[in-house]
Amino acid sequence: MAGTFFVILACLLWGLDTLIRYPLVERGINPITIVFYEHVVLTLLFSLGLIPAIKRIGELKLADIFSFLVIGGLGSAVATVAFTQSFQYLNPSLVILLQKLQPVVAILLSAIILKEQIQKQFIVCAVICMFGGLLISSPDIERFYHLMVSDYTMVISDTALHGYTLVAVSIIGWGATTVFGKRLSMVGFDTKSIMAGRFLVGLLVLIPFVHWNKSMILPMGEDYLRVLIMVLISGALAMWLYYQGLKRLSARTTAIAEMFFPFFAIIVNWFFLGKQLTDLQLLGGGILIIGSLIIQIKKY
């Protein structure tokens, strides 16, 4: 149960992240700039964690290097950029709904890459949890339905297809990050080394995406403090909790526990921004909790 608690607590901190991140984006700050500054600070913060990894450079296998490229380059950098930019091409509600496929990717990859045994009982509980996740997103489903009725062409246009590609990259990237992060933990890398490697590789991959012009300067001095707070909460602390949970859980169980993130995000919006939850969202949260508890108790 401790592993699930760590991941759920990380999801809560990721939910708090939205109180800072989205206002920055809404004010016109380039998302890539925000993500870049995050990786700079996190790389510096966990630079000491690279020392054990440096000692093991001669022992690194190609599979280890590939794992770091996946969690850092694909997951931490490319997937984050792709997800953020997908909102420019798709209705936000559709992006959020498609993101619910991420656990499916992680579960399938855990079976292929890690050879985790997926029992029928686990699949049943996972479907229950995903149903709960869909109920949590019921307002997005309703908005998507109205979009389909009012302007179906927007859902199948070339612009929309571009958006679907970006969302697919983010889904595969984040799903793979869970699996390959677990793999690194299984072969002996400690949490600090995994996080240090993740953020360093992510920073190096992000550099070509950055526009080296005035957009790199944040409009207000306080914005640097906001980014720093966001980094400490959702980057450093949340990711440390997440990897503490991941090393105690299977990749498939971690993927289910990660579904608590959108639930906590709407709770945070309810508590801090007054955006009240609907009865369906509360029901979905209850179903998600029950399904996750069954997986833990039965150890599927």
Task: Give pLDDT tens digits for 190-239.
Answer: 888 888 889 999 999 999 888 777 767 777 878 888 889 988 988 889 99
Q: How many CB atoms lie within 10 A of CB 142?
A: 13
What local confidence, expressed as pLDDT, does residue 259 receive? 84
Cβ neighbours of residue 125 closer than 8 Å, sequence gap 6 or more? 256, 291, 292, 294, 295, 298, 300
Of the two residues 161 and 103, the one the predictor is more confident about is 103
- Per-residue confidence at 53, pLDDT binned at 50, 70, 90? low
**Is 165:89 a contact under the CB 8 Å cutoff?**
no
- Per-residue confidence at 91, pLDDT binned at 50, 70, 90? low
Query: Structural domain of residue 106, as residue ranges?
Result: 2-298
Q: What is the mean pLDDT of the chain?
A: 83
What local confidence, expressed as pLDDT, does residue 175 receive? 92
**Is 245:4 a contact under the CB 8 Å cutoff?**
yes
What local confidence, expressed as pLDDT, does residue 54 receive? 65
What local confidence, expressed as pLDDT, does residue 151 receive? 65
Mean pLDDT within 146-174: 77
Tell me: the pLDDT tens digits for 38-49? 899 999 888 776
**How many domains does the chain contain in total?**
1
What local confidence, expressed as pLDDT, does residue 155 receive? 61
What local confidence, expressed as pLDDT, does residue 286 receive? 87
Q: What is the pTM of this model?
A: 0.84
Query: How large is the angle between the packed helices 138-150 and 120-136, nearest 10 degrees?
Result: 70
**Is 264:113 a contact under the CB 8 Å cutoff?**
no
What local confidence, expressed as pLDDT, does residue 238 receive? 92
Tell me: the pLDDT tens digits for 235-263? 889 999 999 999 898 998 998 888 888 77
- Per-residue confidence at 1, pLDDT binned at 50, 70, 90? low
What local confidence, expressed as pLDDT, does residue 99 receive? 77
At residue 249, φ and ψ (nearest 5 deg) are: -115, 160
What local confidence, expressed as pLDDT, does residue 110 receive? 92
List the single range of 21-30, 50-59, 91-100, 127-136 with lowest mean pLDDT: 50-59
List the single range of 69-73, 95-99, 174-178 with lowest mean pLDDT: 95-99
Mean pLDDT within 261-272: 80
Mean pLDDT within 90-119: 82
Mean pLDDT within 119-142: 84
